[in-house]
Chains A and B, each alone.
Chain A
């Protein structure tokens, strides 16, 4: 099956610094990538959707200047949390959608746990 990787899997940073999370589709081209955030014991909240080479579409309530998304290629999207604060601590999961085996499917990365101290 299609594989989506995320890096890093876990990061701890100080308040005020910026953190970049990478999401890669390893064996297929992802025309669309999604970024989700999961709070403890909660469901996944869609933050933004991006197509390769175009600006991301952010969900209501998500600050685009705070969460910078770049979808530079068909296999890579990055999420940068700028000027991170403790309330940004969360589990961030990316998802990539592309054509695999004749159909468009969406695959999820393993997630990145961000802790801001």
Chain B
């Protein structure tokens, strides 16, 4: 079955870059997503990448995909205190209901 893994915690200083990593097992994934969840809130879609792309950049966010190694990363440039949240990567299966499987989440703490 699908399995998505992330490191649990990341701490960075304000202004530095943050890199959150994710590994997945389903090689047939069509889309890979990054979501942000602030305390007590729902999920906010940050960005996504098609499985046939290597990189996608959107303002301060850069997504890198290494399909061979099944590794996805999210880089946040010039990290701000408002970026403190839990970040989930997720993969979308290609068959069936195309269900989305979430990673374990990485808590990003930004130190002023």
Interface residues of chain A, those whose CB is within 8 Å of chain B, are: 6, 32, 34, 36, 42-44, 46, 49, 51, 57, 93, 95, 97, 106-111, 113
Contact = CB atoms under 8 A, between A and B. Distances in A.
Contacts of A95: 100
Given A36-B102, A42-B104, 14 more contacts: A6-B42, A43-B88, A43-B102, A46-B101, A93-B43, A97-B98, A106-B100, A108-B42, A108-B43, A108-B45, A109-B42, A110-B42, A111-B41, A111-B43
Nearest to B97: A49
A32 B41 contact: no
Interface of B: 35, 40-43, 45, 88, 92, 97-105
A43 B6 CA distance: 10
26 contacts: A32-B97, A34-B99, A34-B100, A36-B102, A43-B102, A43-B103, A43-B104, A44-B43, A44-B88, A46-B100, A46-B101, A49-B97, A49-B99, A51-B97, A57-B97, A93-B43, A95-B100, A106-B92, A107-B45, A108-B35, A108-B43, A108-B45, A109-B42, A111-B41, A111-B43, A113-B40
